Amino acid sequence: MEIYVKFDGELRKVDMKKLIRLILILLVLIIGLVVGIILIISHVKGKSSGQEAETVSEGDILTKDYYSFKDTELKTYEMPETALERLEESGPSKEDTLSGVYEKMQRDYPDFAGYLSIEGTKIDYPVMYSPEEPERYLHKDINGKDCNEGLPFIDARCSVKPQSDNIIIFGHNMRDGSMFGTLDAYKDKKYCEEHPVIYFDTPEGRNEYEVMAAFYDRVYYTDESAFRFYDFIDAEDKEDYDRSVERLIAKSLYETGVKAEYGDKLITLVTCSYQEENGRFALVARKIGNR
């Protein structure tokens, strides 16, 4: 097939090979331009997402993805025999010796803040508090040795003396169920009814907390307007306390019948969950007895 075009009043034959070559060159240039634009957009979005990830969670250490399932062989959590003996001395039948035993523990392990346990569960560990080095126990045992599961530890923003309105304790969600690997069993109301009390003993004495709320949540971006349960540590006043407690209860998967009044001390156990990006599972409990 021959093609002619009129140029300066004359009909001229079009060179088909040159025309096809020119079309192919144009197509390659167009494709290259489109691909380049896509790559630039992807790079900009990726960089933006990276910046958002860095600011996604003010104050929530878990955001840094330390709390993920471990497929590698776990190192066994170890506590020195002397420490175990001291903790055995502080059993329920010897409550009067608790303060002395824990004072010795703190002397040997300065970051030791107390002992956390829930009867009938795997949660039965010392809790650490190192505000000068908040992430110290992410992957270290009580001796400071490296271990995958680390130890439960208190949010560095909390105060233990005097005690904050809400003590937040982080723990790994381990595949083998250790640390806080079974915490989300509290998603079922029946399980909560069977394990309603959290024990958090400190050098100041034995403390019991009754579960008030259990819920799934996530870490929010800094520009999102939302109640961040992990930021509730000390209330500004009664109104702030009451409002925060109402929001915590509203998040709960079920009603526990437990309420908190201004002045009541709370404890919140937090671990990662995988129902969504940056997901969390939290268990909030109110201190029984003295405030």
Residue 40 makes CB contacts below 8 A (sequence gap 6+) with: none
How far apart (Å, rounded) are the C-alpha atoms in residues 98 and 203?
7
Secondary structure element (H or E) that encloses residue 257, with its range: none
What does each of the 291 residues of the chain score in pLDDT, given as a tens digit?
A: 555 555 555 655 556 677 677 777 878 788 878 877 777 776 555 544 444 434 444 444 554 433 333 322 223 344 445 555 545 554 443 444 566 777 788 888 899 999 999 999 999 999 999 999 988 998 898 888 898 889 999 999 999 989 999 999 999 998 888 899 999 999 999 999 999 999 998 888 889 999 999 999 999 888 888 999 999 999 999 999 999 999 999 999 999 999 999 999 999 999 998 888 889 999 999 999 865
Side-chain half-sphere of 23: how many Cα atoms within 13 Å? 6
Nearest CA-CA partner of 291 in 229, 235, 208, 197: 208
Listed residue (59, 279, 92) closest to 164, CA to CA: 59
Distance of CA 258 to the CA centre of its chain: 24
Helix (H, G, I), strand (E, B) or coil at 246: helix
List phi, psi (to 5°) of 158: -80, 160
Tokens of 123: 């949660």
- Does an H or E element contain 124, and which? strand 124-128
- Residues with Cβ within 8 Å of 15's Cβ and at least 6 positions away in sequence, in order, are none
Say if residues 286 and 258 touch (Cβ distance below 8 Å): yes
**Dist CA 170 CA 248 (whole Å):** 17
Which tokens sit at 255?
């009603």
Asked if residues 269 and 183 have their Cβ atoms less than 8 Å apart, the reply is: yes
pLDDT of residue 38: 76
Coil/strand/helix, residue 48: helix
Which pLDDT belongs to residue 239? 97
d(CA 213, CA 55): 27
Tokens of 126: 């010392």
Alpha carbon distance 169, 185 (integer Å): 17
pTM of the prediction?
A: 0.71
Residue-level pLDDT at 78:
44
DSSP run (H or E) holding 129: none
What CA–CA distance (Å, rounded) separates 159 from 167? 8
pLDDT for the residue 228: 93
Amino acid sitting at position 272: C
- C-alpha span between 118 and 142 (Å, rounded): 20
Dist CA 26 CA 210 (whole Å): 72
